[in-house]
Structure 1
């Protein structure tokens, strides 16, 4: 995909990219240790829809700078594909947006917001449960400061499906990775944003035989959508899914 950020700065290592139609991506970090997924921007003259908040306020601010450089409208809605930290911890850096998510994630995030997050707290939790190590070490690396940090539960929730004023469709799919997993569909651009919905459970909850939910994934691939984006990999097409035997 072409780099359309419009920036010539040598410091802009990561830039926003147009995937198809009005869907743009701020790409994931390929280093799995950083647990930093892609963030989608669905640009509309009524205000952009941001799909996932970024894994930290600093990440969110990088995305905002890239949006401004590309001339995209400011965010009006922020949609959570699910409640996990790497999809929600940037939310406090998105002012003046309506946060939308599945009802199953609201109470989880309310409970998460009450925890005393700090580097010391992360270390104490890992000592108590070493299986949390990869996730909590990534959180520590993501957060250069805790000043002003808050976890923001969704303000608007839905149960099965919801269509935003811009025509963006949200559909709850659940699954083993997170009970509130939601796919975000942009029919006019033929793009399906899958979050982590078909991934196995998080590492600290994963059994040795847990793997991707390929049955769910195959059911999500349809002739209505050409592009598919899961959060921690490069975008792929329906043609690639067919070639790999998913449909």
Structure 2
């Protein structure tokens, strides 16, 4: 775990890109922990649990899904926590819950759609025990925005959509200078990506605020406000 503000920590992305382990956020108060996403499989989520325990963090009370993609949601079955998501995310998870997840289904899908090979091979690599896996649907759903108060800390959830997933949201930790943007400004997933699809720097630029010092995205080091400004300015040239 790495601390980036008084109450905000991150569990960084894994070093092996083929494992598709995203950055997971943790808002830690005296009484509870709120996760921003939850790991890409049960074993990844258990590693996050161990890291929280080492920090003597209180139990995870809430998980906020930034979007429905498997690498951000497959770990939630490990936690006994409330789950919050936007309406579009909840709809996508309803469909995901109907899938008979496991090697047989994934290999069949690869044969039917070779463009899914990279994603499905990653799932086969990271999930050790498919009997553990369960798609956890949200307990609380919002449409455009939601404010969550956690022991005096305010979280502002905002649906933003974007090229990567139409259900993407951001999570601002108000007063802590941190905005979780996850994958919202990334190009679409590989199997949906066209040659002209690129990182949407204009979207990230629109999300900039003077009060934000850290922009935490889903697959890489958190960006400082200066780094975001520089990247957006370079993209305009």
Question: TM-score category by the smaller chain?
Answer: over 0.9
SS in 2 for 1:42: strand
Q: Are 2:205 and 2:229, in contact at CA under 8 Å, matched by a contact in 1?
A: no
Does 1:32 pair with 2:28? no
Aligned to 1:231: 218
Distance 1:216 1:210 in 2: 14
Matches within 5 A, 1:33-48: 33-48=18-33
Matches within 5 A, 1:1-247: 16-95=1-80, 97-166=81-150, 167-246=154-233
Gaps of 5+ in 2: none
Question: What's the CA shift string for 1:96-125, capped at 9, x where partnerless?
Answer: x11000100112111111111111111111
- What TM-score does the superposition give when structure 2 sets the normalisation length? 0.94
Distance 2:112 2:91 in 1: 24
1:48 deviates by 1.0
Question: What's the CA shift string for 1:164-211, capped at 9, x where partnerless?
Answer: 121111111001211110101012210011110001111000111001
Distance 1:43 1:244 in 2: 30
1:246 deviates by 4.2
SS in 1 for 2:61: strand
Distance 1:242 1:179 in 2: 24
Q: How many residues align?
A: 231
